[in-house]
Amino acid sequence: MAERLLEVTNLVKHFPVGHRRTVKAINDVSFHIDRGETLALVGESGSGKTTVGRCILRLIEPTQGRITFAGAQVDTMSADQLRALRPRVQMVFQEPYDSLNPRMRIRKIVEEPIFLAGEMTPAQRHDRVAEVLEMVRLGADAMDKYPHQFSAGEQQRIGIARAIATQPELVVLDEPTSALDVSVRAEILDLLTDLQEDLALSYLLISHDLTAVRRVCHRVAIMYLGKIVERGDSDALFEQPLHPYSRALLSSVLYPDPSEQLSRFLLSGEIPSPIDLPPGCHLHGRCPWAVDTCNDAYPDAEELLPGRQVACFRAREMNALNGDAATGGPSA
Amino acid sequence: MEPLLAVDDVRVSFEKESGAVAVLNGVDLSVQPGESIGIVGESGAGKTVLVRTILNLLQEPWKVHQGQIRFDGEDLLAKQEEELRQIRGVKIALTSPEPRKQLNPLVRVGEQLAHGIRAHRKITRKEALELAVEALESVGIPDPHLRVRSYPHELSGGMCQRVVIAMALSHSPKLLLADEPTAGLDVTIARQILDLMAELVHEFGSSLMLVSRDMGVVAHYCQRVAVMYAGQIVEVGETEVFYGAAAHPYSRHLLRAARAARDDRRAAAATVEARAAAAHGCAYTPRCPVAITACEQSTPALEPVEDGHAARCFRRGEVARGEVQA
């Protein structure tokens, strides 16, 4: 049995926005990540995926819910305890250039988290910076340059070097490739995969890009308006999505092959505002399967295939799964 | 058939104090009436500059050195500003990658649409506003009679893109230049916008030049594809032929990267050590896995592989037939 590294239970985050209104960014989200595993959190803008990532690091305070990292409860940690946690949980940000201080040399940028962890001498820190720059295939000569002297792909490598400098156990990757061109994107994903193998890292990969996610993650959780609508093993889920939102999301991906039939499983309309969440299932206004029940209550997640949780009243029936096919199995 | 648009050896540079930076290095491209062509390439390839050159929108420090752009029998680069105004937005329309920036944040979208309509038609403001409502309806905006009174910030990104498409098509242009129309949109919305655009372009019989970094979008929404690299068209061909038998190593590289995810393969096959490009050679030589000596000595021209399929590569035949691993 794999070791649980991170466990998130019933996480809620609401942002007050004045006039007694709140943005309901995360509405009761639970998932876990095992050691050495990559979980992808996939969703469109406004789904709450980035907010989940930030809550885990306590960059923003969760409204409710429990976050456990390697057995320690993160949501109640004091500032001192959090400081001790930082080297173990790191983050790579979406905008490579904006997340690097333009007035610092690369040496300083990558060294900063090690310096803050406070366990190395200056000489050790220098060696460590050189080492991680090698690991991300930039080379130690990068040290004395400034961020603007690098391409976007190289800047993202610097961001990754900074994240792995303290030998973290978990790295939250917030859209690490969405600002990059397609060929650079592939290089960064390959690099992340290699680093995971070499350093036994666990990743929480936050992305809206399904094509990027598929190759690198072990499990996927698909979010829509602050809820996880479906989760399960990556290959099986991509092969056969069961929730109507997952189906629509996957059929929106245009594969670069003109002979491939375009899927017509599309959603109508726009994503509703997280301030005025629709009653019942959040998708019902856009869903081709919606019936009256969907209007009244939010469906509970059900295990429809082994390891596959789906929150939809009609998924079993519409995917023509009979009761026997859903064997229950151990919970994922 | 006489092409609607013919771009012939266009060279554009960005003039800096420290010297000129060549951005378009001899672009040749034609667009037939009613056809949709995709322009693909990574950032910096010159896609957007090409679009702006076609509209003759470039100003200092941009400079068009050479070349001709013929549109509907007229030479666009030779036109005066006054004449261009009768073409831009009327015969050739543009949608930008950031629809919110293309709209004036202080003016209701209905007024903006009406203003564009009245610029070229002698009708009253009231009549123009009625046309604006119709235009919003035609691009699938719900409650168009209410939405004409909305400001851009009250609309989502997808809705803004719909408004921009409505504006672009309000004079039934012969050519629509769509620069990254889905760049900032969520995937479920992007498909809606692409379907809408394809449907309207077909309805008006317009030609579509779709600029995109997304190989998947072009595969499904364009009849022909042109690949740009370092300010040149390096390959052009029918969509089916191109995706089946790309003849330029760079096209192969783009396709491999785009397909890697689904195919569960590593994309970076043969990562080539970056070398400096030879002064006279093909610009792709430093990254090319199949470069030969000739590639460093002279620049290949855009030459046919077969009918209607051409590539700027000395080894285009071998690459297209898959005889060399490019």
Q: What is the pLDDT of residues B65-77, one digit of tens each?
A: 999 999 999 999 9
Decide if B188 and A252 are in contact by the 8 Å CB cutoff.
yes
Rounded Cα–Cα distance for residues B199 and A257 (Å): 21
CA–CA distance from B215 to each of A256, A275, B27, B230 (Å)? 5, 35, 20, 18
Give A-chain residues touching B218 at CB under 8 angstroms.
256
β-bridge mates for residue B179, sequence order: B211
Q: What is the pLDDT at residue B39? A: 97
Task: Name the band, by pLDDT with cuts 50, 70 and 90, for residue A197.
Answer: very high
A114-159 tens-digit pLDDT? 999 988 999 999 999 999 999 999 988 999 999 999 999 999 999 9
CA angle (B266 as vertex; B260, B268 as ends), nearest 5: 100
Q: What is the largest CA-CA distance in chain B?
A: 67
A41-90 tens-digit pLDDT? 999 888 999 999 999 999 999 999 999 999 999 999 999 999 999 999 99
Picking from A34-38, A109-113, A154-158, B18-22, which range would have the lowest pLDDT averaged per residue? B18-22
CA–CA distance from B16 to each of A308, B47, B63, B283 (Å)? 58, 20, 11, 22
CB–CB of B294/A291 below 8 Å?
Answer: no
Task: Name the band, by pLDDT with cuts 50, 70 and 90, for residue A323.
Answer: low
Which among A250, A270, A273 is the top mutation candidate for probing chain B, defined by the most B β-carbons within 10 Å of its own β-carbon? A270
Between A59 and A325, the more confident residue is A59
Decide if A256 and B268 are in contact by the 8 Å CB cutoff.
no
Q: Average pLDDT for residues B142-147, to the nearest whole number?
A: 90
Task: Name the band, by pLDDT with cuts 50, 70 and 90, for residue A1.
Answer: low
Task: Name the band, by pLDDT with cuts 50, 70 and 90, for residue B272.
Answer: very low
Q: What is the pLDDT at residue A319? A: 85
Task: Name the band, by pLDDT with cuts 50, 70 and 90, for residue B85.
Answer: very high
Strands A38-42 and A202-207 come out as parallel
* Residues of A contacting chain B (CB within 8 angstroms): 44-45, 181-187, 189-190, 208, 210-215, 248-249, 252-260, 262, 266-267, 269-271
Which among B36, B162, B188, B240 is the top mutation candidate for probing chain A, defined by the most A β-carbons within 10 Å of its own β-carbon? B188
Decide if B255 and A214 are in contact by the 8 Å CB cutoff.
no
* Residues of B contacting chain A (CB within 8 angstroms): 42-43, 142, 156, 158-159, 186-192, 213-220, 239-240, 243, 253-255, 257-262, 264, 266-268, 271
pTM for the predicted model, two decimal places? 0.84
Give B-chain residues touching A205 at CB under 8 angstroms.
none
Q: What percent of chain A has pLDDT over 70?
A: 96
Q: What is the pLDDT at residue B13? A: 94
Picking from B15-24, B70-79, B210-219, B271-280, which range would have the lowest pLDDT averaged per residue? B271-280
Which among A182, A185, A217 is the top mutation candidate for probing chain B, defined by the most B β-carbons within 10 Å of its own β-carbon? A182
Q: What is the pLDDT at residue B142? A: 86
Task: Name the band, by pLDDT with cuts 50, 70 and 90, for residue B264.
Answer: low
B33-50 tens-digit pLDDT? 999 999 999 888 999 999
Q: What is the pLDDT at residue A215? A: 81
Give me the residue from B192, B216, B266 closest to A256, CB to CB: B216
Task: Name the band, by pLDDT with cuts 50, 70 and 90, for residue B326.
Answer: confident
CB–CB of B169/B113 below 8 Å?
Answer: no
Give A-chain residues touching B271 at CB under 8 angstroms.
187
- Mean pLDDT score across all residues of chain A: 91
Q: What percent of chain B has pLDDT over 90?
A: 76
Q: What is the pLDDT at residue B259? A: 85
Give me the residue from B186, B191, B257 closest to A186, CB to CB: B257
Give me the residue from A44, A254, A260 closest to B188, CB to CB: A44
Give me the residue from A185, A249, A258 closest to B187, CB to CB: A249
Q: What is the pLDDT at residue A28? A: 94
